[in-house]
Chain A
Amino acid sequence: MKRISILAAAFVFGGLSLFAQIDRSKAPQAGPARELKMTTPQSFKLDNGLTVIVAENHKLPQVRVDLYLDYTPVTEGNKAGITSMVGELMRAGTASYSKEKLDEAIDFMGADLYASSRGGGFSTLKKHLDKTMGLFSEVILKPTFNNNEELTKLKKQALTGLEAEEKNPDAISGRVMNVLLYGKNHPYGEYVTKESIESIGMDDVKTFYNTYFKPGKAYLTFTGDITVAEATALAKQYFAGWAAGTAPDNPAAAMPAAGKTRIVLVDLPTSTQSVITIGNAVNYKKSNADYFAGVLGNSVLGGGSFGRLFNNIREDKGWTYGAYSSLNDDYNLMGTFEASAKVRNNVTDSAIVEFMNEIRRIRDTKPEAEELNIKKAEYTGMFALRLERPETGASFARTVLTEKLPADFYTNYLKNINAVTPEQVQSTMSKYLNVDNMVILVVGKAEEVGPALAKMGYPLEYADKFGNPISNPAEKKSAGDVTGTQIMQKYIAAIGGDKKLKKIKSISEKFSVSIAGAPVELDGTMKRMAPNKNMSEITMQGMPLMRRVFDGEKGSMSQMGQAKPMDEKELADAKAKTGLFEQMSYKPEQLKVDGIVTVNGKDAYKVIVTENGENSSEFYDVESGLLVKKESQSEGEDGKMITSVTEYPEYSETGGIKQPSKMVITAGEQVLTFTLKSRVFNKDVSALDFQ
């Protein structure tokens, strides 16, 4: 017994010391890379032209089925937004199922079945495959398009989404970049508007469906625990009845000529950072001989957190949270090269210099072999990880067919990646990165970033939020010798005149208030009484959210019933107002005319108003004399300065006096719209309202 244990102990310790030969001080070397086992899925065509692809994988008893319609990109035109609704409307009722019955049946299988303008798909356990396939073919082949409630719901959601994006710099940047590169009538350049969504009717959706849901260029893929024979039988049973036909090829509008490298600035006055996107359109396809050099070249330049852009602009300079680039292939029309980052206002020009330096460097010099090898290793690993999902194999098979690639494109993928040379990277990047014909798009605060951008040596152009060229929105034209007092007099005359205004002792207004992107509708009340009493309140379903009140002497601000008295400065500001129409009491020395600028496409005088030592800007339409915008700075919770902007796009008349009937207040990215419901003068207001 003892002998054995000694022997065993010797083995234990011997074994341990043997194993302990590892050197902990550095990372272990990678073992030899195992060759990827890639099975080629089977594919065949049904008589009606539908291509069926089967990627067998019997590890788990589940099957995924996808239908993909490979029609060329559609120009949606004045119905832009329609493609996002087609699928959900197909899913909202079929020949044999109401939406409710369909929901019930789909849930019963536990299948996540969906449809879209490009087809649809579901996943299911093998044992429910036949039944779920039946439901899927119903949705794809027999939608009734009679659920108008669903259409109304989808349009409402789309409009809410659009509203939420109104001041979102990323959304603006993406939309404008597409317009600049592709043109706004091109399928990749067009964008959704309120009008285009509102104009979508059920007939449009039906027409879309009837035009594009054809088996001719459609691909039905089966992935998972299924044999070719089983898939063939199911495809025939459920989709052989799909009437033959092919979706039309869609002509795409010509793209704008590239032109010289230029900066395009979209003004977002509330921005504290600039969204920079630099790029050009590229004729880059997977079938191009230099495809793999492009993949690696982009990875060296701006792929992930170890690319040159990231190292330079984030790690080295600390100007941004991330800087990346992408080289996007497109087999139908045109792809893009884009490099982007978000940076603080005051380094916008410096960041562009660094971007352009890096773009030039990867064109002008070949990367070090070591730098390229690291990227090859990273790419090899990522490719293996992607293959884990059986769906990847199926989508590879489909891509080979739709993009007309050699059958061994994906089996040779890594071999080709690893064969790329530094010289090839350089020549490919100089081919695709058109450093002399690029768009440098900046979405940011024109007033702050514009002057520095103008000095960079590139032409500087301006565009609105939809990419239409405009003149410099921050540019000031001379206002001549007009004085602030004259502008105020014109305003007072425009809203009704001195005589009428003096008779007004109080104003009571009710508004509906909406917050962009939020589904709630709030109520707003404002009451004012001469000389300076005022109260404003926002409620939700009768519950007060915010209330600000000033009775001439003291005031408070409350949120959710918790009141906070006004501080000295706020009180001084409130007391300084000496009339319901403050323009009547501005003194000449308070006003400074700062030229003529453009507000929403129209000339307006910019007047800097100084009150209690603080400046704000007011903009008066040159033609009508009306106040169209106010801009002021305030300190936010975190000590950062926030610019808040109030726009007055509409006025209405009550008793011969014009007042704004719509106000849009923007603070940071939040947008509140006040729409007037009622207004009365000299009624409905008492001193009690201000306590």
Chain B
Amino acid sequence: MKKVISLLCMGGFVLGVGAQGVKFTEYTLPNGLHVILHQDNTNPIVAVSVLYHVGSKNEKEDRTGFAHFFEHLLFEGSANIKRGEFDKYIASSGGTNNANTSQDRTFYYELLPSNQLELGLWLESERMLHARVENVGIETQREVVKEEKRLRIDNQPYSDAFSRVLWENLFKKHPYRWAVIGSMEHLNAAQEADYKDFYKTFYVPNNATLSIAGDIDIEKTKQLITSYFSAIPKGTGTIPRPNVQEDPITQEVRLTYEDKNAQVPAVLYGYRTPKQTDNDAYVLDIIGNVLSNGESSRFTKEIVNKKQLALYAGSFLWGLEDYGVFLCFGLVNQGVELSTLQKEMDAQIEKLKSEGITREELEKQINRLEKDFVARNATMAGIAENLANYHVYYGNTNLINTEIDTYRKITVEDVKRVANKYLNSNQRVVIDVKPGQQ
């Protein structure tokens, strides 16, 4: 009987949201795969994406780096796709593809001419059904990931401070405390069985969202999706998700980090903030922009342009599923002491806390957000990704049309309250990054 109900659900519902909104259809297959479809026949292209709800926070503490490693491993091929051929199928159709991993998710997408929709479905269903998780590919990708770490982290200024040091100081219990790239020792130590187990646990239809946007026919696409995906068995185990509360930070954590790649000293602040679905997270997003988005923002105007203390000074909210991190970052200008720059950054933050912001400043931010919000849905790849994110993180796919309203409700009083609640020096981690050996 359960099956019948699922079948009926497959009929789905189409949500119309006015002339300018993004229309979509969503439903769940009996095996748990959530499907979201957006039809736009303007151009003959289609974006096919799969979001797996697994990121570094789902890893075991002695097997960090697995989620990101899988992003690479799952291009190795499948029972029906020879090693190294995954990309070739896409390139020779004129398409492009890529993938990325965060603390919370792993995301794969192909952008294809729309007459190749089926190719995209075949590739993604092969990846989900029987990807090659075996030693030969594991060995190859271990080297690739090590090279990526060398390139992106070990040889980039400030990268290790941003992606690892900050997090291990902001989080003591939650798995956000380790870097997404993880530990090469863990990857080396892991056996084939560990990898197979990770694949079986997380790469299952009931942990995935298939989001497709572009030149499609909804009914035909549904049939194709059933053909390619419905035979993929549902995962049998429960999917581990951390449920960990951090203790509040009550005293400033201050440390110095020597960065062999850096030529300019820098300072990095991190404040632990609430999860991205919390209303206060929206306010913090605004605050990040007030401080540093645009030539007329406070950090840029006062610290970079007027006082010329910094080559760059920025701030932004890194929103995540369980928590967030509000970051400030400053690179000193020639001949300026790092402490002088810090004092000025602190003064700007304190000024915002004591005086708040003007209505005009808030309006400016809403204007900018509104524009970004529209622009994010300018491409099929953007729409496919946004639909999947809103479904997985917020449980409300239609936020793709309505999220801006949450921002519009924010008042200048909210900004002041939230700044005073989270942006306190005794609740933060401060890292002085100095050029040198590490």
Contact between A519 and B311 (Cβ–Cβ < 8 Å)? yes
* Ranked 7 nearest A-B pairs via Cβ: A381-B94, A560-B436, A110-B368, A103-B295, A107-B294, A31-B115, A28-B118
Q: Give the CA-CA distance A4 to B1 in the complex, in Å.
A: 10
Q: Flag the segment in A19-27, A354-362, A419-427, A496-504 that touches B.
A: A19-27
Q: Is there contact, CB below 8 Å, between B93 and A381?
A: yes
B231 at the interface (CB under 8 A from A): yes
Q: In the complex, how many angstroms separate the beta carbon of A135 from the nearest chain B beta carbon?
A: 13
| Binary flags per residue of B346-369, CB closer than 8 Å to A gives 1, else 0 | 000000000000001001100111
Type the 1/0 row for A66-106, where 1 means its CB is closer than 8 Å to any CB of B: 00000000000000000000000000000000001001101
- A388 at the B interface (CB under 8 A): yes
Contact B113 A62 (CB under 8 A): no
* Closest CB in chain A relative to B150 CB, distance in Å: 10
**With A519-B264, A545-B435 as contacts: A379 and B91 at CB distance below 8 Å:** no
Given the complex, which residues of A lie within 8 Å of B434, measured CB to CB? 543, 560
| Residue among B228, B231, B378 with most chain A CB within 10 A | B378
The distance in angstroms between the C-alpha atoms of A62 and B117, with both chains bound, is 29
Enumerate A365-387 residues with CB–CB distance to B below 8 Å. Answer: 374, 377-385, 387
Q: Collect the chain A residues with CB atoms within 8 Å of residue B88's CB.
A: 306
Q: Which residue of chain A has the shortest Cβ distance to B263 in the bound complex?
A: A518
A18: nearest chain-B partner, CB-CB = B227
Are B20 and A60 in contact (CB-based, < 8 A)?
A: yes
Nearest CB of chain A from residue B361's CB, rounded to whole Å: 9
Which A residues lie within 8 Å of B436 (CB)? 545, 559-561
Contacts of A11 in B (CB 8 A): 7
CB <8 Å contact, A34 and B215: yes
In contact, A27 and B119 (Cβ under 8 angstroms):
yes
Interface membership of chain A positions 549-571, coded 1 if the CB is closer than 8 angstroms to chain B and 0 otherwise: 00000000001111000000000
Pick from A4, A61, A103, A385: contact of B20, CB under 8 Å: A61
* Pairs across A and B, CB under 8 Å, 30 listed: A9-B4, A12-B4, A19-B226, A20-B227, A27-B122, A28-B118, A28-B121, A28-B122, A30-B115, A30-B118, A31-B116, A31-B118, A32-B115, A36-B43, A62-B378, A103-B295, A103-B296, A106-B294, A108-B360, A110-B368, A378-B92, A378-B94, A381-B113, A388-B379, A520-B263, A541-B335, A541-B337, A543-B434, A545-B435, A559-B436
A31: chain B residues at CB < 8 Å are 114-118
Q: Given A27-B122, A30-B116, are A305 and B227 neighbors across the interface (CB < 8 Å)?
A: no
Distance (whole angstroms) from the CB of B17 to the closest CB of chain A: 13
CB-nearest residue of chain B to A388: B43
* A228 neighbours in B (Cβ, 8 Å): none
Q: A36 near B44 (CB under 8 angstroms)?
A: yes
What is the CB-to-nearest-CB distance from B393 to chain A, in angstroms, rounded to a whole number?
Answer: 23
Chain B residues within 8 Å of A22, by CB:
227-228
Q: Is B380 an interface residue (CB 8 A)?
A: yes
B370 is an interface residue with CB less than 8 A from chain A: yes
A382 to B295, CA, bound (A): 36
Kindly state whether residue B162 has any CB partner on chain A within 8 Å. Answer: no
A111-144 residues at the B interface, CB under 8 angstroms: 111, 123-125, 128
With a 10 A CB-CB cut-off, give which of A28, A32, A374, A541 has the most chain B CB atoms: A28
Are B258 and A26 in contact (CB-based, < 8 A)? Answer: no
Tell yes or no: A3 within 8 A of B by CB: no
Question: Given A33-B113, A107-B295, A378-B94, does the pair A125, B223 have CB atoms closer than 8 Å?
Answer: no
What residues of B have a CB within 8 angstroms of the CB of A15 in the complex?
A: 226
CB distance from A684 to the nearest CB of B (A): 25
CA distance A111 to B42 in the complex (A): 26
Q: Which residues of A contact B379 (CB under 8 A)?
A: 388-389
Q: Is the CB of B42 within 8 A of A59?
A: yes
> How far, in whole Å, are A16 and B3 apart by their CA atoms in the complex?
12
Q: Which residues of chain B are within 8 angstroms of A12 by Cβ–Cβ distance?
A: 3-4, 7
- Compute how far the CA of A175 lies from the CA of B260 in the bound complex, rounded to whole angstroms: 32
Residues B374 and A107 in contact, CB atoms below 8 Å apart: no
Q: With an 8 A cutoff between CB atoms, is B375 at the interface?
A: yes
Contact pick for A384, options B4, B43, B363, CB 8 Å: B43
Q: How many residues of A contact B (CB 8 A)?
A: 72
Decide yes or no: A8 and B80 within 8 Å by CB, A60-B377, A385-B94, A545-B436 being known contacts.
no
Q: In the complex the two chains form, is B113's CB within 8 Å of A103's CB?
A: no
Residue contact A103 to B43, C-beta cutoff 8 Å: no
Q: Give, as a whole number of angstroms, the nearest-CB distance from B89 to chain A.
A: 6
Interface flag for B334 (CB, 8 Å): yes
Give the CA-CA distance A380 to B112 in the complex, in Å: 11
User: Residue A456 at the B interface, CB < 8 A?
Assistant: no
Contacts of B231 in A (CB 8 A): 16, 20
* A381 lies within 8 A of B227 (CB): no
Chain A nearest CB: distance from B335 CB in Å?
A: 7
Residues in chain A near residue B1, CB distance under 8 A: 5
* B95 and A381 contact, CB distance less than 8 A: yes
- Judged by a CB distance under 8 angstroms, whether B371 is at the interface is yes
Near A by CB (< 8 A), chain B positions 243-298 give 258, 263-265, 293-297
Bitwise interface map of A from 630 to 655 toward B, beta carbon under 8 Å scored 1, else 0: 00000000000000000000000000
**Are A8 and B4 in touch, CB under 8 angstroms?**
yes
A324 to chain B, nearest CB (A): 14
Contacts of B380 in A (CB 8 A): 388
Least Cβ–Cβ distance between B174 and chain A, in angstroms: 32
B304 to nearest A CB, angstroms?
A: 12
Partner of A562, one of B44, B372, B437: B437
How many Å lie between the Cα of A107 and that of B378 in the bound state?
21
How far is B337's CA from A379's CA once the two chains are assembled, in angstroms?
54
CB 8 Å contact bits of B19-35 with A (1 = contact, 0 = none): 01000000000000000
Q: Is the CB of A108 within 8 A of B364?
A: yes
Contact flag A19-B92 (CB < 8 Å), given A33-B115, A62-B371, A520-B264: no
What distance in Å separates the Cβ of A210 from its nearest Cβ neighbour in chain B? Answer: 27
- Residues of B close to A377: CB separation below 8 A: 92-94
Given contacts A19-B223, A19-B226, A22-B227, whether A110 and B370 have CB atoms under 8 Å apart is yes
A385 and B3 contact, Cβ closer than 8 Å, known pairs A16-B230, A125-B371, A545-B436: no
Inside 8 A of B122's CB, which chain A residues have their CB?
A: 24, 27-28
B301 at the interface (CB under 8 A from A): yes
Q: Is the CB of B230 within 8 A of A34?
A: no
Find A5's partner among B4, B375, B437 (CB 8 Å cutoff).
B4
Bound: A12/B360 CA distance, A: 59
Q: Which residues from B are CB-within-8-Å of A521?
A: 334-335
B111 surroundings in chain A (CB, below 8 A) = 385
Contacting A at CB under 8 A, from B31-60, are 40, 42-45
Question: Would you give the shortest CB distance from B225 to chain A, in whole angstroms?
Answer: 9
| B90-128 Cβ-contact flags toward A at 8 Å (1 or 0) | 011111100000000000000111111111011000100
Report B252 CB to chain A, min CB distance, Å.
23
CB neighbours (8 Å) of A382 from chain B are 94
Contacts of B43 in A (CB 8 A): 36-37, 384, 387-388
Residues of A within 8 Å of B368, CB to CB, are 107, 110
Tell me whether A24 and B264 are in contact in the complex, defined as CB-CB below 8 angstroms, given that A8-B3, A12-B7, A545-B435 are known contacts. Answer: no
Residue in A27, A109, A125, A128 with the greatest tally of chain B CB atoms within 10 Å: A27
A104/B377 in contact, CB under 8 A: no
Residues of chain B contacted by A26 (CB below 8 angstroms):
80
Decide: A106 and B295 in contact? CB cutoff 8 A: yes
A117 vs B395: C-alpha distance when bound (angstroms): 48
**Does A103 lie within 8 Å of B91, measured CB to CB?**
no
Contact B375 A62 (CB under 8 A): yes
Q: Would you call A384 and B44 a contact (CB within 8 A)? A: yes
Nearest residue (CB) in B for A379 is: B94
Q: Which residues of A contact B296 (CB under 8 A)?
A: 100, 103-104, 106-108
Interface contact A60-B227, CB-CB below 8 Å: no
Cα–Cα distance between A144 and B403 once the two chains are bound (Å): 42
Q: Shortest CB–CB separation between residue A409 and chain B, in angstroms?
A: 19
- Asked if residues B4 and A60 are in contact (CB atoms below 8 Å), the reply is no
Q: Tell whether, in the assembled complex, residue A37 and residue B114 are in contact, meaning their CB atoms are under 8 Å apart.
A: no
Pair A515/B215 contact, Cβ less than 8 Å: no
Residues on B with C-beta less than 8 A from A520 are 263-264, 334
Indicate whether A540 reaches chain B with its CB closer than 8 angstroms. Answer: yes
